[in-house]
Structure 1
């Protein structure tokens, strides 16, 4: 009997061991990701900071469920969704002493008294009220439809502040902007002449002298509010100043004569081909906005004066390559179009700051608004002949900006080559840089008492993020979290705790909880990965760096093979998005590719994954190194990476392939065309083949517009180099891709046909968008990639 039990135990042990060493397959790793386990997401605290909620799926159910922990008991428990969600912290707008808060809920405005813990509903309508703010006199202002209303908190009277009217006034001619001189002359007339005073009073009281209003009421009771006509433009960006006097807004003329793309959908429920409306292409006309100020006290409207912005007439340097266009622009001497964000008012309402970005992407200004004239004083100008960008800096929103007090305004800038935190005193004009070094401030949060900045930064290593704090006055940068990896952070409202989504190279994200103190220990809360996922020993890739041919440091991950194939083949993985970081110490968003790279290493390949020029996390020069030439330094970094593998890892330079999706697919095409002696085979997935057919927001930053800078597009688009294809190329593309359209791959396919090329293959996926969803599609795609390498790199 004992021998029989021993035999059973040995068999069981052998079976378990066999399970643990079962080889990776494409079918296994490309299943629904739930087989790996589901990491917790969407961390949010209750307003009292006692409970943290998050979404999680530890039981592999059909969908995630709501869980919670408290800061006293860290065991996750399921939450009653409908009840517990009501306790979640809301994004209140506070009054000066933070005793009161305003919040919009379901289209109505609520007032929370934090001392009495009483909530008062201020509006209850079928329409949506939004953007509530406290005015300096204690009243509440909010937006209903297009208009601003003011609620007197003492009398409960509601007063309409603006009267925006769609269309044009009958017989109205456009009014010229009111100048300071116009306003002064008008005031002088009123001061000197009684007849002007009398007529002004009659106008305010409803028109005809001696007239009476409705139902016999006197004309003095008739309401009169200036009509603010929007013509045929869109109204947006309506902001009231804290003292209630000024309302700023933008009128945007929609772009004319643009043509949107159409993506055909072939596999539909109806059985008919259905068209998906798409985007415009780079270089199309853009919306044009004009900013205005409505002075309620003077009852007048005037335009924001862009002509007063420093450098508004500057011409980008790239026009030097186009002398005729340059001469034409010099003759026009026109102001460049700009986009405005704000104003962002200080607490007292004495100063408003506007963030402006040029439509050509070359400038970002921090501007102090003179609300009486619509003119500006310059606080900071960041200029870049490539394009403005970097963490906390953007051409699409106001970035990491805000007030510390009534005089000090903070913002981020790449002035030193890396995105750092600055504070400007708008009264004195003095600017102070709070952080410095060859690392980036990736996000900024001002403490509730306005004394401290909390920063997420990669100070230790470009691929390690942690939480730091620094006084708003500058000084020592104190590190709060210390775990080596990626730390995504959520501070509790009372700032006593930090929830951390922590991940490592071969470990998906898990929830940790740590007191918000330097040196405090982070406690692990969740365990999410499955036994099946844990049964394989996922590699910790070598974290390396090498010098590229231009002398810059390039960071990479290398997946070594324990048993290299006799050919010593190698594969380069090229991450997508261009401006994205994948060589970090955390779990990759490219988790399927991470697993596939492990599979390749198991099968004798050495794999390298490079944060090439244009990747994020490395400062301005790295970010903009591809300006006017995509497929330049970002491609030669791949070639230099292969040389690094040959020198350090013994790779055979004759047996190298590469693959990547989106931007990675674009680089793969450029590599197969322009570096055919280096790469024997490549798999280009959902690739951009011609940048003139991609979107405006992304492409115009890097290559300008096709009609203004055709040189840049011809140097950067694979379709112009298709005749150089020598190696073995696999292309794969989703047919309902609304990002990089299927048309892209069709056009280059036609080029191959016309060129007589026969060493290429196209796999199409009829139901897939840019990011694949169906496991069957992922499996088919990566089986083809693996087969390509097995047939070309091992023979």
Structure 2
């Protein structure tokens, strides 16, 4: 009798464990996402501020199309057909300072519109394609590019003048210069023997030199690029200078990805990226002085710290480090509204410095206005990449420039007085600023921030010189805002953790109530009660508070097992209160939770949204704090949520696949099983732009690569590993897992398997591939984490 009572709890445990079910299945959730409904994106406004355009798919088309809503008729969602859509596009649209006038290109014509008078005029029909239209400081004059030069149209005189004279040919030899070609033996002998022939030859050359000298003295200045192609050609608003860029790419070897399933029936090679350790491209900024008829180039040798060595050199005492000017990239100059000044962003190729400079337009010398140095790497929202971009420009007063910087540890908006050098932070605090822009009257900033919470995004208005920020949006989650042309209304794409995006419209006022315009969820999608995951924080080994999404099963279904999901991209945020770009994984987590699993989704070190220190927490050691955060998350689940030791799995794709490999290779005592999807296995084989930021280069910092690459830790595999990879992956190449599989074979490991997907790139497309992959993941966890107790 005692024995029967003892067995009863065991039998009950087995019954509960195997009977947990879900109305979801992998086949169900991994179908073409159209089953979920249609969700709006990319909102924009009609010119009269009464129409909202957006991408949508109400008619089950192969892809999203352009739709519109007429305000006042919210139920009237209409598809925009091609003739109308084509008419909406105005290539090269440019405005004057108060945006009362605008110009754009239509074919080879320049169209002029007076916004106040509501008139449209064709100013000029040109014989060649035109580009880079813009108003000059004298707004009666309009500059445009054509055939590699700048022209100016004067609205008063209705005349066109050519401002630059640039040719990509080689410069002809000067008449005073000796001929570079030596006569051959026969010609030399002939000239030596025959006086008349020699005299005629000499007379011919003198005549030619005379004619050339006359032409040279009477001709216009021509700048010859010697065959180099120029880009970003622009005229200063005061018409005294033009600037241009010359980009000379470096010769770096690209890699090959074989396509075994090409339609031709033959194996075709896909040419893809090079690997980390690229030689730098060369960027030169030329200044064309239109007054002095001369061209010279911006110089960077006087930048403060241009020869600084990075701190990591101390780890290589045996190596001699040469102190030399570092390679840099330069953005195209941005002229002040009056054209008298120009600013340039300069970024070191080693990613340690970003200089904001003013260029002396008469000499090309740079004056540093702001230097941001980071011994890890320069980055963060609005900072811009190697060729500029980001938040950067002039206020209309010709005195202040604006930019974003992580100087405080979070990316904020700054003003800098170019006369006094005084820098002022317009925003501050432990939050980040995204996509600031000026109002039409240039009296206000509009910006999105995470001030309320790292997991929320709201839209604000703030005086141009700083002051109180007015919060204009109120819905919890993410608010992606498009401001109407008259700046009276907001079109908002809003989503919440368990609610995909919908379109709303709202007055541009604090406290205004948003009105929902779309309702795209299908009845099938709405039939399931999608979870709103808890946002929690747990304490890491170094004391940091790590944010995570937590999915808890019902107590009656709880099986004691857990799955930790690792998001991809490294620098990405997935712990937030809006609909995730990882929506398939989100639905899979609902399925797992239905089956009794506890699921944790962590914004580990290097994730976006938490400032500079979090972003750079993996510098020189990927698989360091980003991995220990997963381990600490597992310990948190065991300590706080009843998860049992030996019943924890981990999975993720891309960067998440990399972390999964590192987890199984280094912490087999914590993680029993893992699925590594499209994973990097050796960082020396990944691309330069991403990897060199974090790990420097393999040639200069091999220590960082050795301790960060899973292939060097494969001998530590104890648990159960699934590797899945698309064979057409041009981001993380299939070669990565081929090399790792050979390593595992040589190590005699037999507790792993690999699934390959012949038609898939890095991001899977086919529902059949998604389904196969996630069935394998579910099977892995069910068979290795839910072993029945005897």
Using the size of structure 2 for normalisation, the TM-score is 0.89
1:259 matched to 2:249? The reply is no
Q: Deviations over 1:316-345 (max 9, x none)?
A: 1112222354x4323xxx221211113111
What SS does the corresponding residue of 1:44 show, helix, strand or coil?
Answer: strand
Name the counterpart of 1:613: 605
Please give the residue correspondences for 1:388-403 in structure 2 after superposition, counting only pairs within 5 Å.
388-396=378-386, 397-403=388-394
Closer/same/farther in 2, CA of residues 354 and 606 from structure 1, 3 Å limit: same
Q: Which of 372, 381, 395 is matched with 1:382 structurally?
A: 372
What SS does the corresponding residue of 2:274 show, helix, strand or coil?
Answer: coil
1:328 matched to 2:329? The reply is no
Name the counterpart of 1:13: none
Closer/same/farther in 2, CA of residues 286 and 121 from structure 1, 3 Å limit: farther
Name the counterpart of 2:6: none
Name the counterpart of 2:409: 417
CA contact 1:241–1:345 (8 Å) conserved in 2: yes
Closer/same/farther in 2, CA of residues 720 and 267 from structure 1, 3 Å limit: same
Q: Deviations over 1:527-554 (max 9, x none)?
A: 0011111111111111111221122221
What SS does the corresponding residue of 2:329 show, helix, strand or coil?
Answer: strand
CA contact 1:597–1:607 (8 Å) conserved in 2: yes
Please give the residue correspondences for 1:640-659 in structure 2 after superposition, counting only pairs within 5 Å.
640-659=632-651
Name the counterpart of 2:38: 38
CA contact 1:233–1:254 (8 Å) conserved in 2: no
Q: Which of 639, 647, 661 is matched with 1:669 structurally?
A: 661
Closer/same/farther in 2, CA of residues 105 and 609 from structure 1, 3 Å limit: farther
Name the counterpart of 2:121: 120
1:228 matched to 2:219? The reply is no
CA contact 2:569–2:655 (8 Å) conserved in 1: yes
CA contact 1:364–1:395 (8 Å) conserved in 2: no
Q: Deviations over 1:663-695 (max 9, x none)?
A: 000000010101111100000000001111111
Name the counterpart of 1:98: 99
1:770 matched to 2:762? The reply is yes
* Counterpart Cα distance in 2 of 1:741 and 1:232: 36
Name the counterpart of 2:345: 355
* Counterpart Cα distance in 2 of 1:225 and 1:621: 56
Following TM superposition, by how much is the alpha carbon of 1:127 offset from its aligned partner in structure 2, in angstroms? 4.3
What SS does the corresponding residue of 1:103 show, helix, strand or coil?
Answer: strand
* Counterpart Cα distance in 1 of 2:350 and 2:107: 38
Name the counterpart of 1:146: 148
Segments of structure 2 that go 5 or more residues without pairing to the other structure are 1-20, 176-207
* Counterpart Cα distance in 2 of 1:359 and 1:144: 32
CA contact 1:232–1:253 (8 Å) conserved in 2: no
Following TM superposition, by how much is the alpha carbon of 1:770 offset from its aligned partner in structure 2, in angstroms? 0.4
CA contact 1:47–1:87 (8 Å) conserved in 2: no
Name the counterpart of 1:295: 289
* Counterpart Cα distance in 1 of 2:321 and 2:656: 38
What SS does the corresponding residue of 1:111 show, helix, strand or coil?
Answer: strand
CA contact 1:123–1:129 (8 Å) conserved in 2: no
* Counterpart Cα distance in 1 of 2:557 and 2:648: 13
Following TM superposition, by how much is the alpha carbon of 1:89 offset from its aligned partner in structure 2, in angstroms? 7.5
Following TM superposition, by how much is the alpha carbon of 1:261 offset from its aligned partner in structure 2, in angstroms? 0.7
CA contact 1:386–1:627 (8 Å) conserved in 2: yes
Q: Which moved more, 1:143-152 or 1:379-388?
A: 143-152
Closer/same/farther in 2, CA of residues 106 and 27 from structure 1, 3 Å limit: farther
* Counterpart Cα distance in 1 of 2:220 and 2:498: 64
* Alignment length (residue pairs): 731
Following TM superposition, by how much is the alpha carbon of 1:491 offset from its aligned partner in structure 2, in angstroms? 0.8
* Counterpart Cα distance in 2 of 1:675 and 1:385: 30
Following TM superposition, by how much is the alpha carbon of 1:207 offset from its aligned partner in structure 2, in angstroms? 10
* Counterpart Cα distance in 1 of 2:310 and 2:121: 54
Name the counterpart of 1:270: 264
Name the counterpart of 1:109: 110
CA contact 1:68–1:77 (8 Å) conserved in 2: yes
Q: Which of 292, 304, 307 is matched with 2:301 structurally?
A: 307
Using the size of structure 1 for normalisation, the TM-score is 0.88
What SS does the corresponding residue of 1:342 show, helix, strand or coil?
Answer: coil
Name the counterpart of 2:12: none
Following TM superposition, by how much is the alpha carbon of 1:407 offset from its aligned partner in structure 2, in angstroms? 0.9
What SS does the corresponding residue of 1:555 show, helix, strand or coil?
Answer: strand
What SS does the corresponding residue of 2:333 show, helix, strand or coil?
Answer: strand
Q: Deviations over 1:3-41 (max 9, x none)?
A: xxxxxxxxxxxxxxxxxx971000000000000011012
* Counterpart Cα distance in 1 of 2:661 and 2:127: 54
Q: Which of 499, 512, 533 is matched with 1:520 structurally?
A: 512
1:372 matched to 2:366? The reply is no
Name the counterpart of 2:67: 67
CA contact 1:108–1:130 (8 Å) conserved in 2: no
What SS does the corresponding residue of 1:278 show, helix, strand or coil?
Answer: strand
Name the counterpart of 1:15: none
1:743 matched to 2:735? The reply is yes
Q: Deviations over 1:397-449 (max 9, x none)?
A: 32111222211111111000000111111122111111111000022111111
* Counterpart Cα distance in 1 of 2:776 and 2:693: 35
What SS does the corresponding residue of 1:323 show, helix, strand or coil?
Answer: coil
Name the counterpart of 2:81: 81
* Counterpart Cα distance in 2 of 1:751 and 1:209: 74
What SS does the corresponding residue of 1:387 show, helix, strand or coil?
Answer: coil
Closer/same/farther in 2, CA of residues 549 and 289 from structure 1, 3 Å limit: same
Following TM superposition, by how much is the alpha carbon of 1:154 offset from its aligned partner in structure 2, in angstroms? 2.7
1:341 matched to 2:345? The reply is no
Closer/same/farther in 2, CA of residues 76 and 648 from structure 1, 3 Å limit: farther
* Counterpart Cα distance in 1 of 2:42 and 2:742: 45
* Counterpart Cα distance in 1 of 2:593 and 2:497: 16
Q: Which of 526, 543, 553 is matched with 1:534 structurally?
A: 526
CA contact 1:692–1:706 (8 Å) conserved in 2: yes
* Counterpart Cα distance in 2 of 1:463 and 1:778: 28
Segments of structure 1 that go 5 or more residues without pairing to the other structure are 1-20, 174-205, 214-218
Name the counterpart of 2:204: none
CA contact 2:472–2:510 (8 Å) conserved in 1: yes
Following TM superposition, by how much is the alpha carbon of 1:564 offset from its aligned partner in structure 2, in angstroms? 6.2
Name the counterpart of 2:460: 468
| RMSD over equivalenced CA pairs, Å | 2.3
Following TM superposition, by how much is the alpha carbon of 1:254 offset from its aligned partner in structure 2, in angstroms? 2.1
1:688 matched to 2:688? The reply is no
Name the counterpart of 1:183: none
Closer/same/farther in 2, CA of residues 210 and 316 from structure 1, 3 Å limit: closer
Q: Deviations over 1:185-219 (max 9, x none)?
A: xxxxxxxxxxxxxxxxxxxxx99799999xxxxx9
